Structure 1
Amino acid sequence: CRCGGTVGAILTCPLEVVKTRLQSSSVTLYISEVHLNTVNGASVNRVTRVSPGPLHCLKMILQNEGPRSLFRGLGPNLVGVAPSRAIYFAAYSNCKEKLNNIFNPDSTQVHMISAGVAGFTAITTTNPIWLVKTRLQLDARNRGEKRMSAFECVRKVYRSDGVKGFYRGMSASYAGISETVIHFVIYESIKRKLLEYKTVSAMDNEDESAKEASDFVGMMMAAATSKTCATSIAYPH
């Protein structure tokens, strides 16, 4: 899981940078529009403020900052992804194991509470890492300009706000626990359905490699479907 998170962080870093830039209110374009129908017949130029789309934002970053800027914040992301996933899944497994002795084992209630506790624990312990990552991704510099490093970002945050500055946005991150809860409830439900289907199907007659490939694809589809649904529902957070 740690290796998967690390590989995923590297491959999706450019998308993370584009997403963070698009979420920032400072990323806008100014487009000049010419209007010929005026009172005195003269043409007037009006400047309109619009938000760029993902592809245009990607093009702007490549043109103005260079390809390296698509990997801004990757360092803190790699540092944070392993402990974050480790903390999350450890808390999820331990909480799930304890709750199975209290509620119906592997019920929706158990999955919801376990996911919520795990999300709260992971966010509280790793928020400073994600804050630094986001600040680095928003630090737009033209080609040739010196880029702010992670250590410089840490010093800047500490000088301006002290230790509490590293926990800015944590309340909004707590709202994101709803996404984690939705994700795991849907994932566990799909996984349970897949296991039931596997039990009643004729897969027992297939060779071991075919079954492993089928299980892998099934789990990937379950993870992708549940994550897409959860992200779409809880995205405003």
Structure 2
Amino acid sequence: MPRVVPPIEGRASDVDISPSLVESIAGFTAGVVATLAVHPFDVLKTRLQLNQATRLEFGSSWRILRSIVQNEGNYRGLYRGLMPNMIGNSTSWGLYFFWYVSTSDLKDAFRKYRGGDRKLSSAEYFAASGTSGVLTAICTNPIWVIKTRMLSSGRDAPGAYRGVLHGTVQIMRNEGILGFYRGLIPSLFGVSHGAIQFVAYEQLKNHRRAQKPGAHLSNWDFLTLSALSKMLAGSVTYPYQVVRSRLQTYEATQHYRSASDLVFQIWRKEGVRGFYKGLAPNIIRVLPSTCVTFLVYENTKFYLPQFYAANF
């Protein structure tokens, strides 16, 4: 595990490099590393979300993983759809931190509007993170459509996309530009996930700082707080991910008239549990993903200005 260093707040402004650029690079790098670390869990989660059986049997996750390894190109099958997932995650984290964390972000706009350096309320944190999430969701939805379809099937399955470019061409040819925005509505509802996470994260961080007056929070503090906030947000908002995944599949238009029709069908055929399929692997995936993301993010934000100052 890399050496943990305490992040220095405001460090990015000590050198001649744009703080927004530092935040974007840190978020982008964190997204790449986290995706590489936990992608197989994302494949498993997607397959479970698309399983329409009334109830899953014990050991379903293991059987799906074993089937992928045996029938979809050995362990390479566990990294099916890695490229769109990496592009989507790295871009999402880069954009999100650019809009949310940098010194020119929405939080500073709220502070200037209210006057002074007063701490933001939970509602203001929610508005800032929610707005950032909406912008990010609109920008990245096309890549999530391709990613979901690639993760839902093996490379040799009939009609499966061979890669990002092939998927892009097929969607444009067969569905038009609107095909890239399937599942956008549930994704926008899912913005509440990030908003809840960051509200909880900021409040937990403020509480922790009150316990350590005058001291910088360590990366271990950030990792613990981010994990707790992620677990809370994930448990509350998970159903939208199931709805979004099913709306983004190859044949979604043949089975569902709308998002509300899909919700009704899941409720009628699968019950409440249907909205939480894949939750366990999702939690297993997001916790290390969140920890890796924030560890890489904080270290990149700390070292990048020093590297820039030393070499430029």
Q: TM-score range by the shorter chain?
A: 0.7 to 0.9
Structure 2 residues without counterparts, runs of 5 or longer: 1-26, 241-312
* 1:1-237 correspondence runs (5 A): 1-25=27-51, 51=56, 53-65=60-72, 66-93=74-101, 94-103=105-114, 105-141=119-155, 148-199=162-213, 215-237=218-240
**Mapped partners of 1:51, 1:130: distance in 2:** 25
Instruction: Please say which structure displays the higher CA radius of gyration.
Output: 1
Contact 2:80-2:154 at 8 Å conserved across structures: no
**Mapped partners of 1:87, 1:164: distance in 2:** 22
- Kindly provide the CA deviation profile for residues 11-60 of structure 1, in whole angstroms up to 9, marking residues without a partner as x: 1100000000000136x6xxxxxxxxxxxxxxxxxxxx763522222122
**Mapped partners of 1:188, 1:165: distance in 2:** 36
Contact 1:139-1:148 at 8 Å conserved across structures: no
**Mapped partners of 1:180, 1:50: distance in 2:** 29
Query: Against the structure 1 CA distance between its residues 147 and 131, is the aligned structure 2 distance closer, same or farther, given a 3 Å change threshold?
Result: closer
Note the aligned Cα RMSD (angstroms).
2.2
The alpha-carbon deviation at position 141 of structure 1 amounts to 4.6
SS of the equivalent of 1:199 reads coil
SS of the equivalent of 2:230 reads helix
**Mapped partners of 1:90, 1:19: distance in 2:** 28
Contact 1:21-1:138 at 8 Å conserved across structures: yes
2:169 aligned partner, one-letter code: R
Query: Against the structure 1 CA distance between its residues 87 and 147, is the aligned structure 2 distance closer, same or farther, given a 3 Å change threshold?
Result: closer
> How many percent of aligned residue pairs carry the same amino acid?
31
- TM-score (normalizing by structure 1): 0.78
- Kindly provide the CA deviation profile for residues 98-137 of structure 1, in whole angstroms up to 9, marking residues without a partner as x: 0122345322122100010000000001111111111110
* Structure showing greater relative contact order (alpha-carbon pairs closer than 8 Å, 6 or more residues apart): 2
1:87 aligned partner, one-letter code: L
Contact 1:183-1:226 at 8 Å conserved across structures: yes
Contact 2:80-2:155 at 8 Å conserved across structures: no
The equivalent residue for 2:264 is: none
**Mapped partners of 1:105, 1:192: distance in 2:** 9
1:174 aligned partner, one-letter code: L
The equivalent residue for 1:36 is: none
81-90 or 215-224: bigger deviation: 81-90
**Mapped partners of 1:114, 1:21: distance in 2:** 33
**Mapped partners of 1:219, 1:99: distance in 2:** 24
**Which structure has greater strand proportion?**
1
- Kindly provide the CA deviation profile for residues 53-75 of structure 1, in whole angstroms up to 9, marking residues without a partner as x: 22222122112212111111111
The alpha-carbon deviation at position 82 of structure 1 amounts to 2.7
**Mapped partners of 2:236, 2:87: distance in 1:** 28
The equivalent residue for 1:46 is: none
158-167 or 54-63: bigger deviation: 54-63
SS of the equivalent of 1:148 reads coil
Structure 1 residues without counterparts, runs of 5 or longer: 29-48, 205-210
130-139 or 57-66: bigger deviation: 57-66
Query: Against the structure 1 CA distance between its residues 154 and 142, is the aligned structure 2 distance closer, same or farther, given a 3 Å change threshold?
Result: closer
**Mapped partners of 1:165, 1:218: distance in 2:** 42
